């Protein structure tokens, strides 16, 4: 009896990964969940304006930042200068716009450095080698007592006032805090059954850390990194005031505060505007971390949990065209088996 080979099509799936919500779909649900809260909406609006102003200031400002007018110093807000002028006759709004790009770069670099350093320390602190983990824990507890300002002063001796001093001081200090706070959560995940099963299966420690530990501590990371970004804005202002932060020739919010704080009793508006901007951004960064922590966690975000469940149900449903094609193919196989046989015995055997 001869059988005719027919290629059977696979069942069509509506999603590339069955039971998983796509990356952009997850981002859309997370942003929608954050927007539903007042704190999340405020943080998204302020951070979007901050990023937009930073990009625009690279190409345009109301007045060129290096344009000064000795006859128009300490001017009140007007149509020509919306926020007034400082002691050199420079436009305050233009300097704040140009300084937003500097502070954004400092915040991003400090967050990246603290995140990388903190995760590396956490990986060593949850290591299966007790000697390494205990040594790193003691080292972190000893170094965490070192103030950020003192570290910046030490770095300023060989480097001088620069952005690198602010970034390294903030990244090092916040990385230690991040490691100490994330360590308890990482230890709980490291002792879980699925991590132990992965270890017995022969999976390496680095892969386990990246695939199991890091995803389970992301909510804590979001809060700590957002706080690090907000604190780096305050640290830039404080270190610039001390003379070890951003150099005087580079616009920043700390520089605007430093040049105006001496005349706060005479011209308070020149200190009010940069102080107000710093306060709004720091509050937005702290609220952003809290809102993001609640939005990305399926346990606390019912919308994300429902979206993931809906994606799993839709992925398991075959496409109608694939089902009909499979049924037609089965009928075709039966017909071939019947007509290709030499007698009733063949049909009975089939």
pLDDT bucket at 318, cuts 50 / 70 / 90: low
Angular region, 84: left φ>0, alpha ψ -120 to 50, beta rest: left
- Evaluate whether residue 143 is within a structural domain: yes
Question: What's residue 94's pLDDT?
Answer: 92
Reported as a single tens digit per residue, the pLDDT across 204-218 is 888 888 888 888 888
Residue 96 lies in a domain: yes
Could you tell me if residue 186 is inside a domain? Answer: yes
What percentage of the chain has pLDDT greater than the value 70?
83
Residue 14: its pLDDT value, please?
A: 38
CB 100 within 8 A of CB 54: yes
**Which residues on adjacent β-strands are paired with residue 91?**
85
Give residue 343's pLDDT: 46
pLDDT confidence tier of residue 314, bands split at 50, 70 and 90:
low
pLDDT at 224 over 60: yes
Q: Among 70-74, 153-157, 211-215, 344-348, name the one with the lowest average pLDDT.
A: 344-348
In a domain, 122, yes or no: yes
CATH of the domain at 227: 1.10.3720.10
Model confidence at 162: pLDDT above 70: yes
Domain assignment of residue 1, yes or no: no
pLDDT for 146 equals 85
Range of the domain at 209: 23-297
**pLDDT score, position 3:** 44
Higher pLDDT, residue 350 or 333: 333
**Cα separation, 43 vs 37, whole angstroms:** 10
332, pLDDT greater than 80: no
What is the reported pLDDT for 91?
A: 87
Q: Which two tokens stand for residue 240?
A: 């610039």
Asked whether residue 275 is assigned to any structural domain, the reply reads yes
Position 334 pLDDT exceeds 70:
no
- If one counts the domains in the chain, the total is 1
So what's the pLDDT on residue 232? 93
Cα 64-68-71 angle, rounded to 5 deg: 140
Does the residue 307 lie in any domain? no
Q: What is the pLDDT of residue 235?
A: 92
pLDDT over 70 at 25, yes or no: yes
**What's residue 208's pLDDT?**
86
- pLDDT tens readout for residues 26-66: 888 888 889 999 999 999 999 999 999 999 999 999 988 88
**230 in Cβ contact with 296 (< 8 Å):** no
Residue 326 has pLDDT above 80, yes or no: no
**What is the arithmetic mean of pLDDT over 115-120?**
94
Is the per-residue pLDDT at 226 higher than 50?
yes
Q: Is residue 332 part of a domain?
A: no
With a CB cutoff of 8 Å and minimum separation 6, the contacts of 47 are: 281, 284, 285, 288
> How high does pLDDT run on average in the chain?
81
Q: Could you read off the pLDDT of 273-310 as tens digits, one per residue? A: 999 999 999 999 999 998 998 888 777 777 777 877 77
């Amino acid at each position: 009896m001869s059988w005719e080979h027919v290629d059977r099509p696979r069942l069509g799936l509506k999603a590339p990964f069955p039971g998983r919500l796509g990356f952009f779909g997850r981002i859309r649900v997370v942003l929608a969940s954050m927007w539903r809260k007042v704190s999340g909406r405020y943080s998204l609006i302020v951070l979007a304006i901050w990023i937009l102003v930073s990009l625009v200031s690279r190409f345009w400002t109301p007045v060129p930042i290096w344009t000064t007018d000795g006859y128009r110093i300490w001017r009140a807000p007007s149509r020509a200068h919306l926020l007034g002028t400082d002691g050199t006759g420079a436009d305050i709004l233009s300097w704040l716009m140009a300084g937003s790009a500097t502070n954004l770069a400092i915040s991003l670099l400090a967050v990246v450095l603290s995140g990388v350093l903190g995760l590396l320390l956490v990986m060593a602190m949850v290591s299966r080698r007790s000697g390494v983990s205990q040594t790193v824990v003691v080292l972190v507890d000893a170094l965490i007592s070192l103030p950020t300002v003192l570290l910046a002063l030490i770095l300023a001796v060989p480097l001088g006032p620069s952005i690198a001093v602010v970034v390294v001081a903030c990244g090092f200090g916040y990385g230690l805090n991040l490691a100490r706070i994330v360590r308890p959560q990482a230890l709980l995940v490291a002792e879980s059954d699925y991590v132990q099963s992965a270890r017995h299966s022969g999976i390496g420690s680095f892969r386990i850390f990246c695939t199991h530990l890091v995803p389970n501590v992301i909510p804590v990371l979001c809060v700590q990194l957002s706080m690090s970004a907000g604190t780096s804005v305050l640290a830039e202002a404080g270190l610039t005031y001390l003379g070890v932060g951003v150099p005087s020739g580079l616009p920043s919010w700390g520089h605007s505060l430093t040049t105006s704080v001496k005349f706060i009793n005479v011209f308070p508006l020149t200190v009010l505007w940069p102080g107000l901007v710093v306060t709004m951004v720091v509050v937005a960064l702290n609220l952003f971390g809290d809102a993001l922590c609640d939005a990305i966690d399926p346990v606390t975000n019912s919308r994300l949990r429902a979206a993931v469940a809906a994606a799993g149900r839709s992925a398991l449903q075959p496409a109608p065209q694939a089902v009909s094609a499979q049924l037609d193919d089965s009928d075709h196989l039966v017909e071939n088996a019947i007509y290709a046989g030499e007698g009733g015995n063949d049909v009975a055997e089939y």
